[in-house]
Structure 1
Amino acid sequence: MTAFLDNILGGLALGAVYALVALGFVVIFKASGVLNFAHGSLLLFGGYLTAVLHDDLGFAGALALAVLTTAALAGALDRFLLQRGGQDAHSAHVQTIVTIGIDIVLFTDLARRIGGDLLSLGDPWGDSVTRLGPLTVADSRLAAIVVSAVVIGAVFALFRYTSWGLSLRAAAEDLEAAALMGVRLGRVRAGAWCLAGALAALAAVFLAAFPAPGLERTTGQIALNAFPAAILGGLASPAGALAGSLIIGLTEALVVGYQSDLHILGEGFGDVAPYAVMLLVLLVRPTGLFGAKGAARV
């Protein structure tokens, strides 16, 4: 029973971090219709900056600068590489393909810089643990749950109570209608990309924290497990991204925790479990758990 509860808590912590990444996918898609396949490399960039700066600036200063720099980089990529292609549905497909090229360039450079090293981000939790009854929980996991809950709550408030959030919702419904109503789509897109970059840089801290050995060049690829979470919940639904992330996090933690009992599925099934769950759900709900069915006029 203790092992089961430990897996559940670990899954919730992992799902909370995935939610930060999945929200990035969702806000970009809502604002522009683009699937950002460079998101994992942006996360790796933010984590790398935190790792190389924390000795000079301290953890808080390094993280703040990494979040701001990653947000600025994401916004610049959209402004100077993607928006030039237009903002209609066809352009969004082309821009999605462009993000694959951006990902290759960013990842290649970061992988060269990191090499085979394991980088510490200097987080204040280290390898400390807390006892909760029969459970021994890494402080980094508790911090991941608390910080992610606060940040996600703030993002949802941003969607609900700000003019930018209203503009984002309008753009998600109909880009052309939103433009005719005076919504400045360029600014909405820029804000979405910057927000996604900031969330990715923050998520890097917890993906590299104990019990993980540190930041490595594959960390960005691990973060892409949040992509099935965004698809699972429905790409246009922030609430769906949160629900999908928790489902994916719990699934991954339980599969890894009970790997010896699931040997029939093969070694390393935990790596593909998020995608297996996504496919099973999409067979029943092609638009995702919270996705709305489109209406067509005939």
Structure 2
Amino acid sequence: MTDLLDLALGGLALGAVYALVALGFVIVFRASGVLNFAHGSLLLLGGYLTAVLHGPLGFAGALAAAVLATALTAGAVDRLLRGDGTEPGTAHVRTIATLGVDLLLATELTRRIGGDLLTLGDPWGDAVTTLGPVTVADSRLAALAVSAVAIGAVFALFRLTPWGLSLRAAAEDTEAAALMGIRLARVRTLAWCLAGALAALAAVFLAAFPAPGLERTTGQIALKAFPAAVLGGMASPGGALAGSALIGLTEALVAGYQTQLHVLGEGFADVAPYAVMVLVLLVRPTGLFGAKGAVRV
């Protein structure tokens, strides 16, 4: 029972970090209709900047600089790839173009990181805390707390700010929002910047203990958050949270009980998120919280 509680808490912490990444996918998709496949490279960029800057700036200063730089880079990617968003196929073209951006960023960051394991200078280190029968890494407790604050702030932006209202209006009807005077280009750019900032924040916890550190493959972990976004429905921020919790718990439990699940093959925990995504989509093609499109007859 204790092992199950350990795995469940670890899975929830992992799911909270995945939620930061999945929200980035959802925010960009709602704002521009683009699946940003460069999101993993942006995450790796944020982690790399934190790693190289924490010496001179300290952890807090390095994280703030990395979040800002990654947000600006994401906004620059949006500007670089932007069409006017009205002609057919524009969003699809930009989605494909993000693959090229991902290749360029990942290649350069991989060259810089090489075979090294970079530490981010986080204050939690390898410390653990005992909560009754459960022992949990302080980094995972920090992940839960920081993710909760960050996600709460994002939802507050959605609900309580003019930008959030503009984003929701544009997601519902782009043409009507433009006619009402909403500056769609600005709304989209800010959405990309916010997604980049969340990715940089997630990188800290993906590289923290019990992970060995930041390596060149860390950005690929962001792809595990993609099933979480799809599970919840690509246009549903709330769905991204539910999908992330499900993916995090699934991965942690499958990894913890790998011996009992050996018939599924070694390393099944790595593909378990995608297996869950396929199973759910067979029943709910639009995702757990996705809305069915209206059809005119």
* Residue 12 of structure 2: aligned partner: 12
**Aligned residue runs from structure 1 range 189-268, under 5 A:** 189-268=188-267
Q: CA deviation at 1:8?
A: 0.1
* Residue 2 of structure 1: aligned partner: 2
Cα distance between partner residues in 2 of 1:179 and 1:270: 45
Cα distance between partner residues in 1 of 2:71 and 2:147: 17
Pairing 1:63–2:63 present: yes
Cα distance between partner residues in 2 of 1:240 and 1:148: 16
2:85 to 87, 94, 118: 87
Deviation string for 1:107-155 (max 9, x for gaps)? Answer: 0000000001000000000000101111111000000000000110010
* Residue 182 of structure 2: aligned partner: 183
Q: CA deviation at 1:183?
A: 1.1
Let me know the Cα RMSD of the aligned residues: 0.7
Q: CA deviation at 1:189?
A: 0.3
Please list every run of at least 4 consecutive aligned residues from structure 1 whose deviation after the TM superposition is greater than 4 angstroms: none
* Residue 113 of structure 1: aligned partner: 112
Identical pairs, percent: 80
Cα distance between partner residues in 1 of 2:105 and 2:25: 18
Deviation string for 1:140-194 (max 9, x for gaps)? Answer: 0000000000110010010001110011001111211211111110010011000
TM-score for the superposition, normalised by structure 2:
0.99
Amino acid at match of 1:52: V
Q: Decide which moves more: 99-108 or 167-176.
A: 167-176
Q: CA deviation at 1:86?
A: 2.5
Q: Unpaired segments of 5 or more residues in structure 2? A: none
Q: CA deviation at 1:205?
A: 0.1
Q: CA deviation at 1:222?
A: 1.1
Amino acid at match of 2:141: L
Cα distance between partner residues in 2 of 1:239 and 1:183: 24
Q: Unpaired segments of 5 or more residues in structure 1? A: none
**Aligned residue runs from structure 1 range 140-151, under 5 A:** 140-151=139-150
* Residue 284 of structure 2: aligned partner: 285
Amino acid at match of 2:293: G
Amino acid at match of 2:204: V
TM-score for the superposition, normalised by structure 1:
0.98
Q: Aligned with 1:123: secondary structure?
A: coil
Q: CA deviation at 1:239?
A: 0.2
